[in-house]
Each structure stands twice: as structure tokens, then as C-alpha cells.
Amino acid sequence: MSKYYKPNRNKNWNYDGNNWRLSRSKIDLFVECPRCFYIDNKLGTARPPGYPFSLNSAVDHLLKKEFDIHRSNKSAHPFMVEHGIDALPFQSEFLDDWRDNFKGVEVKHGPTGLTVSGAIDDVWQNPQGELHVVDYKATSKNESPTLDADWQDGYKRQMEIYQWLLRQSGFKVSNVGYFVYANGLKDKESFGKKLEFEVVVIPYEGEDSWIEGVLSDIKETLDKDDIPDPGADCDFCSYREAVRDVIKDHMGIPAKAEKANKKPENQTLF
């Protein structure tokens, strides 16, 4: 087993453990696949993670530093001016904690008792005192970035969860958030030890009314012993089922034996 992936987590980090909390990414995992969510948070075995995108992290880090300069100067960043956004980087003593992956914006959800958290990239404030959630993204494609792809629905949910968290924390939050999207340009004649970017600021109007219902569903799921059904489009569950089938076929397990030993569908992991 690689040092990078540790499938069996300390129980303190599982549901009901002292260190467990419901992060933004875990909420999104539940929306994508309740079964993978349950195996991760209740049983303690997470999906193998993707390897980190170091260049994306570098862009994220440098954008934060750049916007922090304007935060200190109480000035608008040129990106904000260019896109006609009447706001300034929000000044708050909590910002460092909000950005920390091990802290984030943290809320105790009254109806379920779940501790919900999420680490944000940035927050801007308009003259009306409303906060705008800001998320940095980096990519490299031939066309200008948009939010039109189906897989980017996760980005939109991400924004809405952050908006919800800040509202639950007592802040006045605009429905409009912004994605600062850096697009690495590939049409240059040479590399020259630098990568140039097109940067666009994409407004997105969030709608967070779905979150309360999902939190209730998450609580109900975690409190059950039954393993939920997989998500309709979950590649991880499809892989597990394909592996199960090919192993049974390879071992020559007869259909009658499989049927006799078959558990209810929602109890079958492999």
C-alpha cells in the first residue's frame, strides 16, 4: 500500500468520533454518491484521493497574496475594476481561519447537531455591506472558462455551501459570488520559464435552499446501519461492482451459489 493512500482511518475521524465534522467536500460527496459517503464517514474507508494539482495550488496561493495586498491598502484589485465589480476585499480577523482547511467557516447546525465547515478562498464586500464569496480556479483550455459543463455543478454547490455557512454565522451575504478563473495560455511561441494566464471573473447567483434538506438526509443516513444505494453516476461504485463480477467469473462461482448468498442490494458492497 502506498504511503499516499491510507484506507483505514482512526475512528476519532469517523462519524461520532471526536474529530469528525461535515466538510463542504463531504456534503458534495453525499450528493454525488450516498454509498461512497457512508463508507467514508461511517465505516472509515475513503475513496483513493486524486493527486494534488501543484500548479493550481500555486495560482491559488499567489492570488490570495495579491488580493491581500489590496486588502491591506483598502483598494480594489484591477480584476474587480475591469469587471465593473463595486466591492473591496473584505477585512476580517477571521479570514485566516476561514481559509484554513483544518478550521474554515464552522457552524453547528441546530436541527441535526452536525458541525458543518468549509474553507473559503476569499470574501469581498460591497458598499451595502453584503459579502460576496469568492473562489479561485485554475485551468488551461483553448476557450475562455465558463461554468457551463455538467461537472462544474460541484463548483456551484461549493459556492452555495460557503454562502450558507457565512449566513449561518450571522453575516449579510449576497446571492452573487465570483469565480476568479485563471486560464493558462497555450498559444505562446515558447515557454520562456513562465506561464501566462487569461483571468476572467465569472459571477454566479447562488441558491442555498437545498442545503437544509441535504443535511437532514445526511444525518438520517449516518444514523442508520443500512448501507445506502450507490449514486447513479458513481464511477467508484461501478468499478467495485465490475471487479466483483470479474472475480466471481474468474473463480467460477455458479449463479445459484451467488443467488443463495446474495444480500439485499443496499447491503452489497462488492
| For the chain, domain boundaries | 54-104+117-209, 234-270
Position 124 scores a pLDDT of 98
**In the predicted structure, residue 250 carries a pLDDT above the cut 90:** no
| Cα(206)–Cα(179) distance, integer angstroms | 12
Q: pTM score > 0.95 for this model? A: no
Averaged pLDDT, 229-258: 85
Q: Compare 110 and 189 and report the one with higher pLDDT.
A: 110
Lowest mean pLDDT among 141-145, 204-208, 262-266: 262-266
Number of C-alpha atoms within 13 angstroms, CB side, residue 236? 19
Q: Compare 248 and 129 and report the one with higher pLDDT.
A: 129
Averaged pLDDT, 104-119: 97
Position 257 scores a pLDDT of 54
- pLDDT category at 256 given cuts 50, 70, 90 is low
Mean of pLDDT over the chain: 91
At 50-100, the pLDDT tens digits run 777 788 899 999 999 999 999 999 999 999 999 999 999 999 999 999 999
Position 42 scores a pLDDT of 96
